Amino acid sequence: MKDAILSNLDNPGQLERLYRDDKTTFKRAFRSLSPELKDNTLVAFWNERLNFAREEVSLVTARDLAFVIIASLLAGMIAKLPAIAGINEEFFYTRNAGFIVFPVLTAYFAWKNNISTGKIAFIATTNLAGILFINLLPEDQKSDTLILSCIHLVLFLWCILGFAFTGDAPNKLNERLGFLKYNGDLVVITTLIVIAGGIMTAITINLFSLIGLNIEQFYFKYIVITGLPAAPIIGTYLTQLNPNLVGKVSPVIARIFSPLVLVMLVIYLIAIAFSGKDPYNDREFLLFFNALLVGVMAIIFFSVAESSRPKSKPENWILFLLSMVTIIVNGIALSAILFRISEWGLTPNRLAVLGGNILILVNLLFVTAHLFRVVKKKAEVNQVGNAIVFFLPVYFGWTIIVTFLFPFIFGFK
């Protein structure tokens, strides 16, 4: 490595390639050579780059911490409303689960981004409209439109959160891409917080059981239920305060899981042919198939959004092949729902799945076309990200239709 560095002192591009190929060996070799090359400007630059002291991770600012504590307590109180106000738990949680955390996170970003009064009014109005609409729907546990509204309302609130996240630049594609990256980082950090909380819960319950006190029911009823909503709020605070805290982990996870998901998906599609199961006649299997489709789409989206650097050729090929296989999965799911509609007629569930599958297919085709250009070195990977986030308002429009119009279109059945 020393000889390679010495022979390329006048070749910054090659030095960069050497560094990226083996950072640890490069650092060690360069540091041993630097005393002999003090008068070289390029060497001075690399010394500063390799020895730059990063700022320590900041954990607390008084104003932000106060907001996070108040927001966490508020989310916990909302989660405990059934017990506080005597509301039926099944009625409350099925209709209002999204309102426990999303409005609080939306308020956090509206505050941090100092968005305009008009946008604050829009956010408040949409949240209030959602609360009133979902809670005034007729109570019928067998109503498909009610279930669809409850599910898509969560997606609707997620879109409103994205509106607050992008601040006064909701139409800028890079801001939307940042929102997707935030979601990927939030999943990682929230999972870690929940795991840590689970370990703490197990230790606490077992410690008290050793002295003859059974606190399990009390702990889950009051501590866990009020503590769980705080996890994404604290996770959001950490990701925004210290972007590097999770920013380096999420891309690694995306790079690891993309090829694994690709292999799993190919094997799974082959196994379906020999299993005797198919989504055409098995409703539960079709639901799982669509859930799989959404999950793989999320992995593709986050893999692109998480990268702030050009991807390597193998990574681009993996994403391209993964998107191609996902198109096959989408095609199977779409043909299955069309078959079921032709055989048994149109229902709210089938129309919702059909619309979602068509939107995903169109988006996938755009993404795959851009990925093909990337692997052929005719475009940059950031154009793939733009193709993804450009489509987000279309999904928002579909959530509005399913949440607010389907109950009236199908007569609340």
Identify the pLDDT of residue 135: 94
Average pLDDT over residues 85-106: 92
pLDDT for 7 equals: 78
Per residue in 207-255, pLDDT (tens digit) is 999 998 899 888 988 888 888 999 999 999 888 877 766 766 777 777 7
Buried b (16+ CB within 10 A) or exposed e, 390-399: ebbeebbebb
The string of DSSP codes covering 139-181 is: --TT-HHHHHHHHHHHHHHHHHHHHHHTTT-TT-HHHHHHHHH
Q: How far apart are CA 390 and CA 133, in angstroms?
A: 29
Dump pLDDT digits (tens) for 323-382: 999 999 899 989 999 999 998 899 999 999 999 999 999 998 988 998 898 888 887 766
The pLDDT tens digits for 25-71 are 777 777 666 666 666 677 777 777 776 645 445 555 678 888 888 99
- What 8-state DSSP symbol labels residue 19? H
Higher-confidence residue: 295 or 141?
A: 295
Segment 141-195, tens digit of pLDDT: 788 999 999 999 999 999 999 999 987 766 677 788 888 888 888 988 999 999 9
